[in-house]
Each structure stands twice: as structure tokens, then as C-alpha cells.
Amino acid sequence: MDISLLSNEAIGLGLALLASGAVAGFMAGLFGIGGGAVLVPVLYQFLTVLGVDESVRMHVAVATSLGIIVPTSYRSFMSHKKRGAVDLQLLKSWLIPLPVGVVAAAFVAAYVSGDALKGIFAFCAFVLGLRMLANKSHWRLGADIPGEPIRSVCGAMIGFFSTLMGIGGGVMNNTFMTLYGRSIHQAVATSSGTGLMISVPGTIGLIWAGWGDPALPAFSAGYVNLLGVALIIPVTTFAAPFGVKVAHAMPRRRMEVLFGLFLLVVAARFCLSLYE
């Protein structure tokens, strides 16, 4: 291959990753997500171009996304917390259930195929996207968030499915909280906290799950690619507070519609990739 073409391709990929990092960071603040719903498909495509083995490609994308989410969620959480919008009581009640779900997901990820992870990602994003688009103000499962044991079960499920999707839990938690009468703004703010509680143990668990796999690309610690983490983290961390400012200035319904459309686009992309 011509060296100049190779260099241009490398530059293009690097710029694409930096751009995706900026978008992911902004969306972390805007929607209370860790940016994983953006990062996973972008990272997967990046790994495809690099020729990473199909058997670990999706695993690496999911795990690396979780690694990137750690500082992004922290920055987003601190920004929302300063505004007094975070439900700290809910987060405290999930200190055990949420990580339990994350650990269970790490065990599952060690054995399922890449296509299975794609399917999980696409299905969850599609269902949640439709729910956000069709949401009505009177749709409620209750007047307030339920007590135990339902609360703990929901927390564990959010941790489990979010880890397998490589996201920070905002997708799941936003839906959970709004169905129980909380505002989308408080749900978004609190979701930045679930991002921390999921991404930290999730990253550690997926490092363990992929440790020693011979198909892993260079600069990987288990399924987490350290090069991708190092390249994208500074951009996402910088961009997150800008999303927070927009979130607190945007009407509730507009946030829901934008969030729903975004999820449907992501779901469609992953469904298509199953047939490529």
C-alpha cells in the first residue's frame, strides 16, 4: 500500500476518534450517559479497519468504551451535583446491587460471542429509543421510585445490561426514573452517577474477562485497549460540561425526542452490522 495513502488513512481515523470523543463527552453531559452509545459503534468500526479479530472486536469496543466512560462520568457527575440535581439517596441504595450486576455481566462477556453483544446492544437501544419517542407524561409505573426489593433488582439489571452494552447506565436509568415520576433532568443528572458505579467495576471486570486472549490487539489490558482510552479520554472529559449546560436549558420533551432518535440510529447501525 502507498505510504501516503496509509498516512492519510491513519490521520483520518485519528481525527474521527477525536471527533467521536467530543460528541460522546457532550452527550454524556446532555443525556447523562457515559458516551458509550456513541463510542461502541465508532470503536467497533475503528477496530474493523485495523483488522482486529472478529472474535474479540465487539468485546474490545465495549470494554474500551467503559474505560473511557470513567473520567467522563466523573466530570459529568460533579457538574450535575453542583447544581443539586442528583438523587444521591438512590445512588446510595444501589452501592451494592449495581456493581453486582456489573460483575455478573463481566462473567457473561467472557463467554458470549461478539454477535451476541451486538444483538444485546441493538435490542436494548431500539426498545428504549421507541419508549422515549412515544413517551407520554401520564405513562407511569408509580408515583415514586419503589422500595426494596424491587429497587435493588432494578439496579442490578441496569448494571448488568449496561455493562454488556458498554454504556454508563444512563440509557437504563433515565427510563427507570422517569417511569417512576422523576423529571428527565433529575434522571439525567443521577445517571451520571450510575456511570461511575458501572464503568469502574465494569472496566476491571472486562480486563479480567479478556486477560491473556491471543486475539487481542496491541496495547490491550484484557479487553480494554489502553491506546484508545488514552486518545479519547481528554476530549470527552473536556466536552462533558458543555452538554450539562445545554441539558439544564433544554425543554424536557425536546430532550426525550433527541435521545430517542439517537438510540434508534445506534440500534439500526448495529443491526446492519450483523449482516455485513
- Which one of 114-123, 133-142, 166-175, 196-205 scores highest in mean pLDDT? 196-205
- Identify each DSSP E strand in the chain by its residue range: 220-221, 224-225
CB atoms within 10 A of CB 139: 10
Residue 6's pLDDT is 47
What predicted TM-score, i.e. pTM, was given to this entire model?
0.76
Backbone torsions φ then ψ of 23, nearest 5 degrees? -65, -45
pLDDT above 70 as % of the chain: 87
- What mean pLDDT is predicted for residues 183-205? 84
Contact 137, 75 (CB under 8 A): no
The single residue listed with the C-alpha cell 449495581 is: 98
Its sign, for the CA torsion 39, 103, 147, 130, is positive
Residue 122's pLDDT is 85
- What mean pLDDT is predicted for residues 205-223? 87
Domain that holds residue 82: 3-273
Q: Does the pLDDT of residue 5 top 50, yes or no?
A: no
Burial of 105-135, coded b for 16+ CB within 10 Å and e otherwise, reads bbeebbeeebeebbebbbebbbebbebbeeb
**Euclidean distance between CA atoms 155 and 165, whole angstroms:** 15
Residue 252's pLDDT is 65
On average, the pLDDT of the chain sits at 79
> Peptide bond before 71: cis, by omega within 30 degrees of 0?
no
- What mean pLDDT is predicted for residues 39-68? 81
pLDDT above 90 as % of the chain: 7
Q: How many structural domains does the chain have?
A: 1
∠ CA 18-241-78, nearest 5°, is: 120
Which of the residue ranges 214-218, 242-246, 250-254, 266-270 would you say has the lowest mean pLDDT? 250-254
Backbone torsions φ then ψ of 224, nearest 5 degrees? -85, 120
144, three cell numbers: 415514586
Nearest alpha carbon to residue 263 among 166, 68, 122: 122
